[in-house]
Amino acid sequence: MRITGLALVPPPTAADQPKVTPELLASVLARYSRSNDGLANILSKVDLANPDASIDRILKFVDYGHASIGGLTGGLAVALDGVSMWLAWKIFEISTMADGQESSTRYITMDASNLPTPDELGLPADLADRWRDVMGRAFAAYHAEYARLDALSVAEPARVRLPANASPAVVSRLRKNYALDRARYFIPLATRTNLGLVQSSRMWATTVKHLDSLPQPEARAAAKLLRDELLKQSPRLMRHSSAEQSFKAQTAQELAASLALGRACLSAAPLADEVWVRVDRATPSFLAETQPVAESLRHRANRYGHQGLATRRMRVSFAWNNLALAELRDLNRHRTGHRYTPLIQAGFYLPPEIDRAPHAALLADQLALTRELLDRGSPAYVYSLLLGAQTPFEHSTHADKFIYEAELRTGMGAHFRYAEHMSAALREFFKQVPEAHDWVVEGTAEPE
């Protein structure tokens, strides 16, 4: 694991603008909010070459509950190399206000050399060899299925939904994506990946505090490395980033619930699709909503268009019983609202193009390993999961955000499986909000 902070510098076109460190930015804007002086007057009183005294005078307010000051630092960019896919998922789950990206499964190394060691993951020593064996066989299954599916896409090109007049390079890329996206369910969740995040000091402090409160050694190691790196850019505000009792208590309760549900539901059989959508259109009697839903939606030229109050005030919760971890990695990155999953294996998904029979022994051994870790109450059970593991997943947000997500995740180039999930949720949404049907663009996820 390697953590790298990225210091932002102004472009040449901003050479004549004041140059401030993240914490000086926060202190100046904090003073700005507590003064009727203009910004230029406030900056004139700061020695930009030696700003520490000014920063210390103002940032002491953070210690008295004014945490919002920590949000004034602007975006602090950090790259995390070589973390497990589990840790990348967890960081996105808890960093609800971050902008970020994770490496695609199409572009990272897929073999046992790209796994952390059992010690790094906190796996019981007596299960280490068994874990290595299952993970190695999972990678072998991935490579075997990729090769078979790649050959199938050549032999039967109609399987790949190619755009008209596609160039040879595009044909080759889409053909490979067809195979990669169907073989990926054998990838271990422990596989190393990379991610980059940008968020304020306030949110970084919360993220690091949460990571430091988790039982997985990898999370605590990442917390230390992140803190050390972020202290270079925001030394005062990152003091508030150590493990904290409320985080530890809630984390322990959530782990206990996941272990119990995981033991009760554990299965390697495919779990049939269920979707749940709840729409709440209630408004206060003194502030009724009068805009028709159609009027809220019809002015958009595309999914990025602004929606009206009718959808922005409408609450939507939606959930699936069997979201594979492969899709969870993508759908979990939608920042709005609240997302929740117990991260268990209630079933195992493989696409129709893959025969389960040749992989029955692997799936049985993986299931037995997961059961052993669950029975021991080990938080390292997450590292025994493969991306085909199916878990319940719930997201609560507002209708405008749900519509954006549905259009994005069924649109051009969307992964075939999460397009299926989003289409199912959209159908349920239309049952409850039928007047939205003509204005929401459900895609077909083409090309592949």
CB 222 within 8 A of CB 3: yes
- The reported pLDDT for the residue numbered 53 is 66
Residues 314 and 415 in one domain: yes
Does residue 148 share a domain with residue 39? Answer: no
Residues 181 and 199 in one domain: no
Alpha-carbon 288 to chain mean position: 35
Planar angle of CA 180, 93, 257, nearest 5 degrees: 105
**Residue 364 falls inside a structural domain:** no
At residue 430, does pLDDT exceed 80? yes
- 261 and 311 share one domain: yes
> Cα separation of 320 and 420, whole Å?
11
Q: Is residue 289 part of a domain?
A: yes
Give 176-211 pLDDT, tens digit per residue: 889 999 999 999 999 999 999 888 888 899 999 999
φ, ψ of residue 151 to 5 degrees: the values are -65, -35
pLDDT in tens, 252-288: 999 999 999 999 999 999 999 999 999 999 999 999 9
Tell me whether residue 361 is in a domain: no
**What's the rounded Cα separation, in Å, for the pair 33 and 55?**
15
pLDDT in tens, 154-164: 999 888 887 78
Q: How confident is the model at residue 64 (pLDDT cuts 50, 70, 90)?
A: very low
Q: Tell me the per-residue pLDDT of 347-405, one tens digit each, with 9 for 90 and over.
A: 999 999 999 999 999 999 999 999 999 999 999 999 999 999 999 999 999 999 999 99
Neighbours of 394 (CB within 10 A): 16
CA distance 420 to 438: 20
Residue 276: strand pairing partners = 319
Distance between CA atoms of residues 150 and 265, nearest Å: 34
How far CA 145 is from CA of 92, 131, 150, in Å, comes to 29, 21, 8
pLDDT of residue 70: 60
Using the predicted structure, report yes or no on whether residue 414 has a pLDDT greater than 90.
no
The pLDDT, as a whole number, for residue 343 is 98
- Give the mean model confidence (pLDDT) for residues 118-130: 98
Which stretch of DSSP H or E encloses residue 56?
Answer: helix 52-59
Same domain, 268 and 305: yes
Decide if 64 contacts 239 (C-beta within 8 A): no
- Domain housing 139: 105-186
Which range among 8-22, 293-307, 312-326 shows the weakest confidence by mean pLDDT? 8-22
pTM of the model: 0.89
The amino acid present at 241, given as its one-letter code, is: S
Residue with tokens 């004139």: 44
Pick 61 or 126 by higher pLDDT.
126
Q: How many domains does the chain have?
A: 3
Cα-flanking dihedrals φ and ψ of residue 313, to 5°?
A: -95, -10
Report pLDDT for 277.
98
User: Is residue 132 located within the same domain as residue 65?
Assistant: no
Q: Are residues 112 and 153 in the same domain?
A: yes
pLDDT of residue 321: 98
* 65 contacts 57 by C-beta, under 8 angstroms: no
At 65 the pLDDT is 42
Round to whole Å and give the CA distance between 426 and 408.
12
Q: Is residue 310 part of a domain?
A: yes
Do 407 and 301 fall into the same domain?
A: yes
18 has pLDDT over 80: no
What phi and psi, each to the nearest 5 degrees, are found at residue 387? -70, -10
Q: What residues have CB less than 8 Å from 253, skipping those under 6 apart?
A: none
Instruction: List, in sequence order, the alpha helices (H) in 303-413.
Output: 309-312, 325-331, 360-375, 399-410
- Of 224, 243, 262, at which residue does a domain stop? 243
Strands (E), 161-274: 192-199
